[in-house]
């Protein structure tokens, strides 16, 4: 693998952060099942969120290899923290590739700086790896949509502000009849279930 000077600099920065900030508290985070908000702030300062966001959209514009190196190093510290980086990368990638200018202007900066915490809401009791079983439905209501359904095993669900929710818009269209909706997770009509106690990645 040919790593450039930028790859090496970013990798070493992520490694130092994992060794110095994450690993010393990883065991406590896992035992307490506590969301590591203080690490979020440091990751924001280091630019570890939205790694692949183009410069013209406010990001560093790094490539996929840079992202992989960062994820590998953060995972050395604690996989739950690496997942936070991966989750933000997933959401910013959705906004970059599929979002409108209005959506990017409204949410990109806050997601990249972790001012807004996000969740990617796909999994349901009858639909995990195979999303063909998704039952959550979205129905037109004037200029908006009404979503009905439930999700489980949603990373960040207890603390997230914004959910990117997969729902069916047209049952007859199969997998093409699904869309992702951006949902205010503090809105009325939405309930969060009890936090699950997992075997690993408990923070």
Backbone region of residue 182 per phi and psi (left: phi > 0; alpha: psi in -120 to 50; beta: other values): beta
Q: Is residue 193 part of a domain?
A: no
Mean pLDDT of 59-73: 97
Q: Is residue 196 part of a domain?
A: no
Q: Is residue 54 part of a domain?
A: yes
pLDDT at residue 152 tops 90: yes
What domain range includes position 178?
118-184
Residue 128 and residue 105 share a domain: no
Q: Which of 112, 144, 168 is the last residue of a domain?
A: 112
- For residue 181, the SS3 value is strand
Q: Is residue 68 part of a domain?
A: yes
Q: Which of 70, 88, 112 is the last residue of a domain?
A: 112
User: Under a CB-based contact definition with an 8 Å cutoff, are residues 139 and 146 in contact?
Assistant: yes
Residue 53 and residue 142 share a domain: no
Q: Is residue 125 part of a domain?
A: yes
Q: What was the pLDDT predicted at 197? A: 84
Residue by residue, DSSP assigns 118-179 as EEEE--BTTBSS-GGG---EEEEETTEEEEE----S-TTTTT-SEEEEEEES-GGGGGGGEE
Mean pLDDT of 126-149: 93
Number of domains in the chain: 2
pLDDT at residue 161 tops 80: yes
Residue 127 and residue 83 share a domain: no
Q: What was the pLDDT predicted at 46? A: 94
Q: What was the pLDDT predicted at 77? A: 96
The DSSP H or E segment spanning 39 is helix 37-46
Residue 165 and residue 105 share a domain: no
Residue 108 and residue 145 share a domain: no
Q: Is residue 14 part of a domain?
A: yes
Q: Is residue 191 part of a domain?
A: no
Cα 185 to Cα 163: distance, rounded to the nearest angstrom? 6
pLDDT at residue 174 tops 90: no
Residue 135 and residue 70 share a domain: no
């Amino acid at each position: 693998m040919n790593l450039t000077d930028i790859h090496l600099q970013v990798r070493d920065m992520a490694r130092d952060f994992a060794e110095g900030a994450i690993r010393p508290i990883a065991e406590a985070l896992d035992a307490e099942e506590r969301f590591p908000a203080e690490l979020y702030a440091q990751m924001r300062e280091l630019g570890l969120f939205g790694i692949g966001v183009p410069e013209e959209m406010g990001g560093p514009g790094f490539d996929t290899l840079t992202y992989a190196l960062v994820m590998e190093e953060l995972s050395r510290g604690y996989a739950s923290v690496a997942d936070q980086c991966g989750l933000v990368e997933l959401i910013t990638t959705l906004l970059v590739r599929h979002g409108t200018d209005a959506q990017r202007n409204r949410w990109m900066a806050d997601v990249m700086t972790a001012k807004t915490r996000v969740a990617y809401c796909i999994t349901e009791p009858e639909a995990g790896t195979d999303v063909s079983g998704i039952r959550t439905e979205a129905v037109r209501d004037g200029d908006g949509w009404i979503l009905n359904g439930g999700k489980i095993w949603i990373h960040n669900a207890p603390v997230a502000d914004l959910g990117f929710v997969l729902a069916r818009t047209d049952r007859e269209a199969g997998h093409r009849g699904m869309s992702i909706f951006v949902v205010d997770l503090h809105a009325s009509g939405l309930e969060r279930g009890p936090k699950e106690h997992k075997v690993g990645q408990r923070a």
